[in-house]
Structure 1
Amino acid sequence: MWFKTVRLAGRDILPVFQGGMGVGISAHRLAGAVAREGAMGTIASIDLRHHHPDLVEVTENCKDRDIVDWANHVALDREIKQAKSLSEGNGLIAVNVMKAVRDHPALVRQACESGADVIVMGAGLPIDLPEMVQDYPSIGLVPILSEARGIAIVLKKWMKKGRLPDAIIIEHPAHAGGHLGATRLEDLRDGRFDFAGVIEQTQNLFHELGLGNNAPPLVLAGGIDSHEKVRHWLTCGAQGVQLGTAFAVTKEGDAHPNFKQVLLDAEPSDMTEFVSVAGLPARAVATRWLKSYKKSETRLANCAKADPRRCSQRADCLTQCGLRDGISKFGQFCIDLKLIAALRGEVDKGLFFRGAGKLPFGKTVRSVHELIDYLLNGHMPEPAV
């Protein structure tokens, strides 16, 4: 075996991490299948009720935020337990919780109570994550960051609290999909995000802090689309790699087949970048809806106004929302409704987050097992009959 396993949350796992993708794109089927292979599968915590018809029925047309929160906590509990069952005791089940989500502290607590092995947090600096899990000292904590400066801030803050990250995911905003780790669209391809430089600076930081063998593993995310790239980075300072889109289009992916087809069919010229309602740069497939939205972006920004009624579901899913709060420099659409439409396969209505690069198996849907085997061992499966 040419690669080393990663020690995380008390277990040795394969150096392949499946990224969290919401709404509902990475739920129990995908996360459980990845963990069953001995890797880390990740459930995206946001608005999981849409995988559960009984919870959708309870919350349909509901304007009570507390009831919506309750339903999503129930859904998260179910998804974690189902994923753990599917994993057959192998690998790890992580839960991704976005810092930008209003309910993130409660979602972290629910994930801990429901038996998740790891909490992954991005979309903002997770400075206070250790406090959220203080009653669950054995749970793994993994921040998603993009540059050495952010890593230094989180690491030093956490060390003062007596906690180290169990791993650090370094996400490159020029290549990843969904919400990205740069503050401005113009910065997505800035050299400060290049993996080699971030690895070197972070290793220097570990040395300065005297971490030695306690230094957390570094996991690279964004643009990892081949066995050759996995082998390169695992021999050049990284201990693991994370992929999102490649897992989303597997047979076990939790989304509608139409969702997978949109991602499979997308060419580099079909990708576009924009500012989401959370105020973060994002990358997605330029579907008909997204093209139309971008054409109207300036006009919508000029009409921005703070009005809670603009949150049509009254869910207040984000701490800050460009549409609800009238922040003109943020996006001006309901991201929850658009991501739910994508989950359901509504091609003309949905927002289809996707990484910028090619997919390991082109336009072919393969299994989680085949994907992990290819990434680590270079075994390309036989052509589908």
Structure 2
Amino acid sequence: MELNLNGKLLKHGIIQGGMGVGVSLSELAGNVAKEGCMGVISSVNIGYKENDFLKNPFEANMRALKYHIQRAKEISQGNGLIAVNIMVAVSHYAETVKCAIEAGADAIISGAGLPLNLPEYVKDSKALYAPIVSSKKAAELLCKRFSKKYNSVPDFMVIEGYKAGGHLGFSNQDLEEKTCQDNLTILGEVLETIRPYEEKFRRKINIFLGGGIFTGKDMATALQNGASGVQIGTRFIATKECDASDTFKDVIVNAKESDIKIIKSPVGMPARAVFTPLLQNLEKGKTFFAEKCNNCLKACPKGNKIPYCISRALIEAVKGNREEGLFFCGENASRVSKIVTVKELVNEILEDCKNNLR
């Protein structure tokens, strides 16, 4: 199952989804890579633990990003790949990409918007680049732009289906009415879309399917339908090595299907989270603001134009504040029943996948 991603080898076709704030840092990403997979660090407000975070958020984030990339590399012991998930929606996007590359990231994965200029930032480096898409339209637009403007195509792409956690690339209406395209339909259309670009550039664009991937059987189905691998997020939260607090892990393990809701993020996008006290209190009209806005997201309204600061809520969650934390998760979070090691989880998925490919 070894993959060649434009010269970088990946033993197993599993990408651990990037989860912020602080859920997937060096401990999780490094241990995932150690097992021959792609560990992913989330860059968004990665410096939240730094002493000067509130005063100098940009400097704190860049400092922490360098540290976590280097630490993840040490933990991986030369195995797998270390990627950084950088949302297009963040402030200082270009600077964050460049910082990650300078620190030695193997790949930049980018979504929450269209990374229209990403090839510009990686062109003089050895880093791979991969956009996250949720539709054929997005894949076509990006490939066309990258080919025409940069004479380039993505080293790989990640499809995030509607069952993913956190911010979603689907409309509220489609999510509410359950009219979103399913994963395999999107996969088939994206594979068809990229084929002319693969022929033009004479190399394969590997596609990883994410959003609702839970078992090895799910992975086998993705492979049988043309994917090179899968992206898995929520299951990696419930691992001993995950950087989130034990409280965060317990929230996931104890979540019931009825607890998982689609919410409206302050940045205007739909998102999926566990319906914990923060969201319950927001429904009652309460507000939760940050001590100081650090302008982390370009599109986020400032001040009292929003009912709560999403950055603050995500930080409270990763720190273990059950009352005021926002706990993002995928649709299948209710199926998570226990906390395991990264090694146990990867081996379970790979063995199940192998059995279903026979």
TM-score, normalised to structure 2, is: 0.92
Letter in 2 for 1:69: F
Following superposition, the deviation at residue 203 of structure 1 comes to 2.3
Q: Distance in 1 between matches of 2:338 and 2:301?
A: 37
Q: Distance in 1 between matches of 2:250 and 2:278?
A: 16
Decide whether the 8 Å contact of 1:19 with 1:242 is kept in 2.
yes
Cα RMSD (Å): 2.0
| Structure 1 residues 284 and 105, CA gap change in structure 2 (3 angstroms) | same
Q: Distance in 2 between matches of 1:210 and 1:81?
A: 33
Decide whether the 8 Å contact of 1:177 with 1:282 is kept in 2.
yes
Decide whether the 8 Å contact of 1:259 with 1:352 is kept in 2.
yes
Following superposition, the deviation at residue 264 of structure 1 comes to 0.9
Aligned to 1:153: 141
Percent identical residues:
36
The 5-angstrom pairing of residues 114-193 of structure 1 reads 114-136=103-125, 138-160=126-148, 161-173=150-162, 175-182=163-170, 184-188=171-175, 191=179, 193=181
1:369 aligns with 2:343: yes
Following superposition, the deviation at residue 134 of structure 1 comes to 2.8
Q: Distance in 1 between matches of 2:219 and 2:280?
A: 34
Letter in 2 for 1:261: D
1:319 aligns with 2:316: no
Q: Distance in 1 between matches of 2:100 and 2:308?
A: 28
Aligned to 2:15: 17
Decide whether the 8 Å contact of 2:30 with 2:39 is kept in 1.
yes
Range that drifts further, 343-352 or 215-224 = 215-224
Match of 2:53 among 41, 55, 59: 59
Following superposition, the deviation at residue 349 of structure 1 comes to 0.8
1:231 aligns with 2:210: no
1:70 aligns with 2:87: no
- Secondary structure class of the residue paired with 1:214: coil
| Structure 1 residues 115 and 210, CA gap change in structure 2 (3 angstroms) | closer
Aligned to 1:206: 194
1:99 aligns with 2:88: yes
Following superposition, the deviation at residue 239 of structure 1 comes to 0.8
Q: Distance in 2 between matches of 1:366 and 1:45?
A: 25
| Structure 1 residues 251 and 332, CA gap change in structure 2 (3 angstroms) | same
Aligned to 2:318: 343
Q: Distance in 2 between matches of 1:296 and 1:214?
A: 53
Following superposition, the deviation at residue 296 of structure 1 comes to 2.6
| Structure 1 residues 367 and 158, CA gap change in structure 2 (3 angstroms) | same
Q: Distance in 2 between matches of 1:202 and 1:100?
A: 23
Decide whether the 8 Å contact of 2:188 with 2:225 is kept in 1.
no
Aligned to 1:305: none
Decide whether the 8 Å contact of 2:260 with 2:331 is kept in 1.
yes
- Secondary structure class of the residue paired with 2:249: helix
Aligned to 2:356: none
- Secondary structure class of the residue paired with 1:48: coil
Decide whether the 8 Å contact of 2:143 with 2:153 is kept in 1.
yes
TM-score, normalised to structure 1, is: 0.86
Letter in 2 for 1:373: N
Following superposition, the deviation at residue 196 of structure 1 comes to 2.1
Decide whether the 8 Å contact of 1:171 with 1:222 is kept in 2.
yes
Deviation digits for residues 167-217 of structure 1 (CA, Å, limit 9, x no counterpart) = 1110012x11001111x2112366553222222222222334452752311
Decide whether the 8 Å contact of 1:9 with 1:139 is kept in 2.
no
Decide whether the 8 Å contact of 1:99 with 1:123 is kept in 2.
yes
Letter in 2 for 1:59: F
Decide whether the 8 Å contact of 1:225 with 1:359 is kept in 2.
no
For structure 1, list consecutive stretches of 5 or more residues without a partner in the other structure.
Answer: 301-309, 380-385
Decide whether the 8 Å contact of 1:35 with 1:93 is kept in 2.
yes
